[in-house]
Amino acid sequence: MKLSVLAASLCLAFSGAVVAGDQKAIDLNLSVIGQYQTGIFDDSAAEIVAHDPRSQRLFAINASKNSVDVLDINDPTNPQLIGTIDATDLGAGANSVAVHKGVVAVAIEADDKQAPGVVAFYDAVDLSLINSVQVGALPDMVTFTPNGKYLLVANEGEPNDDYTVDPEGSISIIELKHGASHAKVRTADFTRFNDHADKLKKRGIRIFGPGATVAQDLEPEYITISKNSKRAWVSLQEANALALVDIRRAKVLKLLPLGTKDHSLPENALDVSNRDDMINIANWPIKGMYQPDAIASYKFRGRTFIVTANEGDSRDYDGFSEEERVGDLPLDETAFPDAATLQENENLGRLKITTVNGDSDGDGDYDEIYSYGARSFSIRNARGKLVYDSADDFERITAEQLPDDFNSNNDENDSFDSRSDDKGPEPEGVALGKIEDRTFAFVGLERVGGIMVYDITNPHRVSFIEYLNNRDFSVDAELPDGSTNPLVGDLGPEGITFIDEDDSPVESPLLVVGNEVSGTTTIYSIDVIEEEDKDKDKDEEEDEKEDDK
C-alpha cells in the first residue's frame, strides 16, 4: 500500500508488535500532527533540527538563508515561526545546530570554505548572541555532551574544487564549564597518524586524496557521545572509518575501519541498474563500503553500541574524482570471466563505484568492485565490530510498499528506479529514542523518503517495526514558480530528532524531521499501546461488528 500525504493535517499510522524475552509486547502508533513549510524547494531550507524543552522551541537550520528558523511547538499541531537567528555576519553558511539548557550552538562555515569556521552561542529565548569562537575548516556538525560541559564540533575540512587547497579535518572540543561566554577551544586532530598512512590503508581505512596527509584526508562528518560524556565516536565517511576520541584530553585515540558488505550473499541483495525498467533486487559480486553519515549511540547491558546510517559518499571534484561506472572500467578476466555480461547497462554497467579500490595487483584492471554505502543501517560495538546490519531490508520493504516509486529521487516524482545505480534509498539520518523500556532507531531515507523504524533494544535481536513515507508521489514536487508544492509532503529527510515524553509539550514522545528538498519541518506523535489495550481494542472491534450485524 502506498502511503501519501496532502498536508500536515493528514495523518499516517503504523503499528508493530515488539516482543523480546519476557518483555511485554507494545505497539507504536506514529502520526503526522504538524508541519512547518518554508516553501523553498531543493535549497536546503530545513536540515538539522534541535529541540529546547525549556521553551518548547525547535531550531531548524535553513541553509538557503544562512540562518536558523525558530519554531514554537507548544502546540505541536501548529508549529509557528517566531524568530530567526541570522548567521550572515559570522560566515557563509549555517550547517548544524544543537541546544542544551537554554543555550543554542550553531556551526557556521567561513566565506572561504577551506578557512577556519566558527561556532556561535545564542540564548534560546531572546536569541541574542552570547559568544562566538573559531573552530576548524567547514564545521559540519555540533553536539553537546550529555553533562553539558563540552560542545564537540566535526570539522570536515573539505578540499576546494580544484583540489589545490585541502585543510585538515579535526574535532573541536569546546569547554563550557564556566558557561558559553567563557568557552575555551581545544582541537583533537589526526596529525599523529600522518606517518602511518600505509598501515591504515592495510587495515581498510581509505586514505587516497591526491597529495594529502592522513590529517588532510580524514573528514569528520558526525559525532555521537557516550552517556558518561567521556568518549566520542566520529564518522569519517569517505574513509569508511570511525574515530574514537577522548573528550577530556582532546585526543583521537584510535581509528576504527568499518570493512565492507558482501553483496554476493543472499541476504545482501540490491538493485544496481536504473536502465532495466524494473525492480531487480539481486546478488552481485560487489563489496559495499558502509561509509556512514549520521551515527548515534546507546547502552545495552552496560555496554555502548554505535548505530550508523550507511549512506555512502564519494570524492567528486573538478581536480580529482574517484567516481566511475562499472561499464567504463576494465575488469580482470580471471576475477570476472563473465565481465561482458556484467557490464551491460541492465546489469552492473550503470553502477557507480570507486576507482581508488579494487585493482589489488596493480596491473590496471579491477579485481574487485567497491560501491558506495551499504543501503542499510548497522549496529557496532564500541570497538567498531559489526554486531547487526539490516541487510537488504530497505530496498525490499520500499519495493513492497512503493512498487511504482521504488528508488525514486528526492527532487522529482515520476522518477521510478532512478537511484538504483547510485546508493539506492540512501539512508542518511538516524535518531534513537527510548520508549518505556525499549530503544528504537528511526532512520531517514534521503532519496525515496520516509522513516524506517526498528526496535534495537537488544542489538543482537533487532526487530523491524514499520516504514512510513510522508510523501505524495502523485503530484508535482515543484510548482511553476520554483517553490515547493505544499501537497507533496516531505522530500529529502536530513536531520531527525527524538523528543522524549518527559521533554515533550504533549503527553507522548515526538519525532521531528527536517526535510532539505521540500523545506519542511515535520512533527510526528508517537503513541504507545500496551498489550492489554490492544486486546481491549480487539474486543471493541468485535462488539462493533456484532452491532453492525
In DSSP notation, 426-494 reads -EEEEEEEEETTEEEEEEEETTT--EEEEE-SSTTS-EEEEEE--B-TTS-SB-TTSBBPTTSB--SEE
Residue 528 has a pLDDT of: 85
3-class SS of residue 394: helix
Residue 70 lies in a domain: no
- Full DSSP string of 482-532: SBBPTTSB--SEEEEEEE-GGGSSSSS-EEEEEETTTTEEEEEEEEEEEHH
Whether 404 and 467 map to the same domain: the answer is: yes
Q: Over 50: is that where the pLDDT of 548 sits?
A: no
Residue 527 lies in a domain: yes
Whether 247 and 268 map to the same domain: the answer is: no
Residue 105 lies in a domain: yes
Beta strands 220-225; 93-100: pairing state: unpaired
Cα end-to-end span (Å), the chain: 29
Residue 202 confidence class, pLDDT cut points 50, 70, 90: very high
Q: What is the mean pLDDT of residues 70-82?
A: 98
Q: Express each pLDDT in 486-530 by its tens digit.
A: 999 999 999 999 999 999 999 899 999 999 999 999 999 998 876
Does this model's pTM top 0.85? My answer is yes
Q: What is the DSSP letter of 542?
A: H
Q: Express each pLDDT in 333-352 by its tens digit.
A: 999 999 999 999 999 999 99
Separation of alpha carbons 291 and 306, rounded Å: 14
Residue 14 has a pLDDT of: 36
Residue 537 lies in a domain: yes
Q: Express each pLDDT in 432-450 by its tens digit.
A: 999 999 999 999 999 999 9
The three cell numbers of residue 99 are 541546544
Residue 542 confidence class, pLDDT cut points 50, 70, 90: very low
Going by C-beta distance under 8 Å and a sequence separation of 6 or more, which residues neighbour residue 23? 437, 438, 457
Whether 396 and 508 map to the same domain: the answer is: yes
Point out which residues pair with 325 in neighbouring strands: 352
Give the total number of structural domains in the chain. Answer: 3
Whether 152 and 170 map to the same domain: the answer is: yes
Q: Express each pLDDT in 300-344 by its tens digit.
A: 999 999 999 999 999 999 999 999 999 999 999 999 999 999 999
Whether 277 and 156 map to the same domain: the answer is: no
Residue 29 confidence class, pLDDT cut points 50, 70, 90: confident
Picking from 351, 372, 393, the residue at the C-terminal end of a domain is 372
Cβ atoms 217, 239 nearer than 8 A: yes
Q: What is the DSSP letter of 24?
A: P
Q: Express each pLDDT in 382-408 by its tens digit.
A: 999 999 999 999 999 999 999 999 999
Residue 23 has a pLDDT of: 54
Whether 3 and 131 map to the same domain: the answer is: no
Residue 284 lies in a domain: yes
Residue 548 lies in a domain: yes
Residue 80 lies in a domain: no
Whether 235 and 320 map to the same domain: the answer is: no
Whether 249 and 278 map to the same domain: the answer is: no
Question: Which among 209, 225, 229 is positioned nearest to 217, based on CA atoms?
Answer: 209
Beta strands 287-289; 370-372: pairing state: parallel
Whether 390 and 345 map to the same domain: the answer is: no
Whether 200 and 106 map to the same domain: the answer is: yes
**Mean pLDDT of all residues belonging to the chain:** 93
Q: Express each pLDDT in 104-160 by its tens digit.
A: 999 999 999 999 999 999 999 999 999 999 999 999 999 999 999 999 999 999 999
Question: Which among 504, 439, 169, 180 is positioned nearest to 299, based on CA atoms?
Answer: 439
Q: Express each pLDDT in 366-380 by its tens digit.
A: 999 999 999 999 999
Helices (H), 56-187: none
- Full DSSP string of 30-73: EEEEEEEE--B-SS-SS--EEEETTTTEEEEEEGGGTEEEEEE-
**Owning domain of residue 319:** 260-289+314-372
Residue 28 has a pLDDT of: 83
Whether 31 and 173 map to the same domain: the answer is: no
Whether 301 and 210 map to the same domain: the answer is: no
CATH code, 216: 2.130.10.10
Residue 356 lies in a domain: yes
Residue 4 confidence class, pLDDT cut points 50, 70, 90: very low
Handedness of CA 456, 462, 465, 467 (dihedral sign): positive
Residue 471 confidence class, pLDDT cut points 50, 70, 90: very high
Residue 544 has a pLDDT of: 45
Q: What is the 3-state secondary structure (H, E, C) of 169-226?
A: CEEEEEECCCCHHHCEEEEEECHHHHHHHHHHHHCCCCCCCCCCCHHHHCCEEEEEEC
Residue 25 has a pLDDT of: 56
